Chains A and B, each alone.
Chain A
């Protein structure tokens, strides 16, 4: 993410583990750091899509920024797919995997 004109970065990619899948385990939606999205924008999108407070959205945004990723929501596979779609619609790099 970038803070206005200064950029921050590091695209990390961590493969999920394959193997047996238990349909009852919840799915988590992960947002990954990217070098283009503005920090203020990412915080705004977390508030808008998930109804998070400014403080919670900022904490998640900073986690993405500093640690490379953050879990932003969880639930059924259908819920996670909808969240991923909405995040993609807003240009955020979101993936989903079973917890």
Chain B
């Protein structure tokens, strides 16, 4: 139920309507809490969320990171908090949906990194593969992000 009642996000007269399946409304805040814990860490899972600006200039890179890393973490934390706060909302403003978009994308990046998705073929995981649930979640986030983009672009 719900997976097939799409899109999950639709443009409305005043903002956007949100109509997520119940399973996703339960799972997303849990994933958010895990991501929140990872954000301040040096775990490999978050490397794609914090790319390098100056790959060949360690001095400038250090300066850049000192300047922006904290801000970037704060913005992702605020995005995760917004998702948790509005997970049961039936309506989002354009600004809120834009924050959902970047935050859902950050979650996809982290799951994709954990799954080591770095080659041309879309991997398939057997049902008994311990990575299968993570991959299912990754695919659902891709669907959600696609619906968010369609809704934003319909305006």
Spell out A's residues near B (CB within 8 Å).
Answer: 2, 4-11, 13, 15-16, 18, 34-38, 40-41, 44, 48, 81, 84-85, 88-97
Contact = CB atoms under 8 A, between A and B. Distances in A.
Given A36-B48, A38-B142, A90-B105, A44 B53 contact: no
Contacts of B109: 36-37, 91
A93 B51 contact: yes
Contacts of B108: 36, 91
B112 interface: yes
Given A11-B118, A44-B152, A89-B75, A95 B51 contact: yes
A91 to B, nearest CB: 5
B28 interface: no
Given A7-B119, A7-B122, A40-B149, 17 more contacts: A6-B122, A35-B112, A35-B117, A35-B120, A36-B112, A37-B109, A38-B146, A41-B149, A44-B101, A44-B149, A81-B64, A85-B53, A91-B49, A91-B105, A91-B106, A91-B109, A95-B54
A97 B56 CA distance: 9
A93 B48 contact: yes
The 6 closest A-B pairs by CB, nearest first: A36-B112, A16-B56, A91-B105, A84-B53, A9-B120, A35-B118
Contacts of A48: 98
Given A5-B142, A15-B56, A88-B72, A34 B121 contact: no
B136 interface: no
Contacts of B67: 81
Interface in B89-123: 98, 101-102, 105-106, 108-109, 112-113, 117-122
A36 B117 contact: yes
Contact of B146 (A8, A9, A40): A40
Contacts of A97: 54, 56
Contacts of A96: 53-54
B142 A34 contact: no
Contacts of B98: 48
Contacts of B23: none
5 contacts: A7-B119, A7-B122, A9-B118, A34-B48, A38-B142
Nearest to A81: B64
